[in-house]
Structure 1
Amino acid sequence: MSVSIYYSAIRNLPINAVESVHLLSIVDVFNESFPYKDEGETLSFYSAPSDEYILEGAIKLPYQDENTIVDSVIYWLNAITHLTSVLSTAEWDVRIDDCPASWVDDHWEM
C-alpha cells in the first residue's frame, strides 16, 4: 500500500524568475532535511504541468509504519505551506491520496 501527496496551483500568471528561485530553494532545503529520503520520494514538480496549472507535483511517502507516514505527511505539508506562501495568489489543491488537505489559518493540515 502506498500513500501519496498531490499538489497543484492554478493562476493566470506564470511563475516568474524570482518565484522560481524561491520555490527551488524551498525544495532543496526540505529535500535535504527529510529524515526518510532513502525510503521515500522527495519534493519535486512535474516537468510539464497540465495546461491550466502553473505547478503540479506528487510525493510518494515511505511506508515503514504508520508513524513514518504521519511524520512524512506533516513534514511535506509544512513544505507545501512554504511553497504556497511563494505563490500566494494561486489557487492551491493539496490532497493526501483522495482526501483534501485543509488550509487552516496559514498552513496545510491533514
Structure 2
Amino acid sequence: MVRVGVSLYYTARRATPLTDAESAAVSQVVSTYNENAPFSAQEEGLYLYDRLEPGTVLDGSTKMPAADDRAIPSLVHWLSAVTALRNVVPDADWTLTLDDYEIEWDGHTGYHLPGLTD
C-alpha cells in the first residue's frame, strides 16, 4: 500500500515584525525541537520559510512520516513544537493545519488532537 504523506502548516500574522528577542526565541524553539525529534535522523523537522508575505511573521511546514509507527509520536512532538512557537509570539493571529484540517488552539493545552495521546 502506498501512503501519501501529510504535513503540518503553521502561519503567524501580525502588523509588526518579530523583535530580535522573538527571532532568537523562535530559533531556539526550532533548534531544540528539531534536535530532540523522535526520529530526527529519518524525518523532516520544523521548517520555516525564508520568504514571507507582508503581515506574516512566521510561516512553515513539517512533513509527517508515512510509517504508522512513527506518525503518532511525530505528530505529538510537532504539535508541542508549534505550541512552543505560538507561546513565543502569542499576540499574532495563528493558523495551524494538518493538510486541510485546522487544528484549534486550546488556551490550557496548546495545540493537540483529541485522543492522540491515549
TM-score range, shorter chain: over 0.9
SS at 2:25 equivalent: helix
Gaps of 5+ in 1: none
> What CA distance in whole angstroms lies between the structure 1 residues aligned with 2:5 and 2:26?
26
Quote the residue 1:88 is aligned against. 90
Quote the residue 1:50 is aligned against. 53
CA RMSD, Structure 1 to Structure 2 (Å): 1.1
Gaps of 5+ in 2: 114-118
Instruction: Tell me if 1:32 matches 2:35.
Output: yes
Match of 2:22 among 19, 22, 46: 19
Which aligned segments of 4 or more residues in structure 1 are displaced greater than 3 angstroms?
A: none
Identity over aligned pairs, percent:
30
Q: TM-score, normalised by structure 2?
A: 0.87
> What CA distance in whole angstroms lies between the structure 1 residues aligned with 2:107 and 2:91?
16
Give the paired residue count. 109
- In our comparison, the structure showing a higher alpha carbon Rg is 2
* Deviation sequence 1:7-42 (CA, Å, 0-9, x none): 000001001100001010011110000021222211
Q: Contact 1:36–1:62 (CA<8 Å) still a contact in 2? A: no
Q: TM-score, normalised by structure 1?
A: 0.93
Q: Contact 2:7–2:98 (CA<8 Å) still a contact in 1? A: yes
